[in-house]
Amino acid sequence: MSEHTITVAGVAIDTRHWIGGERVASAQTFPDVSPIDGSTIGGISRGTAMEAAAAVAAAKAAFPAWAATSRAERARILHAIADGVEKRIEELSIVETTDNGALLRSHRRGVMPRVAHNFRFFADWLLKLEHEDFETRGHTNHVSWDPAGPSVLITPWNAPLMLATWKVAPALAAGNTVILKPAEWTPLTASLLADIAAEAGLPAGVLNVVQGYGSEIGDALTSHPDVRRISFTGSVPTAKRIAESAAANLTPLSLELGGKSPLLVFADADLDLAVDLAVEQYDNAGQVCLAATRFLVEESVAEEFTRRFVEKAGQLTQGDPRDAATDIGPNIHPLQLEKIDGFVQRAVAAGSRAVIGGHRKDGQYYAPTLLTDVAQDSEIVQEEVFGPVLTLQTFATEDEAVRLANDTRFGLAATLATGAPERAERVTAQLVAGTVWTNCFFVRDLQAPFGGSRHSGVGREGGTWSFDFYCDLKNTVTSPNGWNNHG
| Mean pLDDT score across all residues of the chain | 96
- Would you say residue 487 has pLDDT above 60? no
- Residue range 32-44: mean pLDDT, rounded: 96
- Number of continuous H segments (helices) and E segments (strands) in the chain: 16, 22
pLDDT the model gives residue 485: 67
* 110 DSSP assignment: I
Quickly state the pLDDT bin for 486 (edges 50, 70, 90).
low
Choose, from 51, 289, 298, 461, the residue flagged as catalytic.
289
Quickly state the pLDDT bin for 334 (edges 50, 70, 90).
very high
Go through the domains of the chain in sequence order and give each one's CATH number.
5-257+452-475 (3.40.605.10), 261-438 (3.40.309.10)
pLDDT the model gives residue 1: 64
- Residue range 336-344: mean pLDDT, rounded: 97
pLDDT the model gives residue 306: 98
CA 25, 27, 32, 38 torsion: positive or negative? positive
Choose, from 256, 298, 384, 461, the residue flagged as catalytic.
256
- Residue 471 among the catalytic residues: no
Quickly state the pLDDT bin for 33 (edges 50, 70, 90).
very high
* Helices 463-470, 112-128: crossing angle, 10 deg rounding: 70
128 phi and psi, to 5 degrees?
A: -110, 10
pLDDT the model gives residue 482: 84
- Residue range 361-379: mean pLDDT, rounded: 97
* 455 DSSP assignment: G
- Residue 256 among the catalytic residues: yes
Burial class (CB within 10 angstroms; exposed 0-12, middle 13-18, buried 19+) of 375: middle
C-beta atoms surrounding 60 within 10 Å? 18
pLDDT the model gives residue 2: 76
- Counting residues of the chain whose pLDDT is more than 70, the rounded percentage is 99
Element (H, E) at 128: helix 112-128
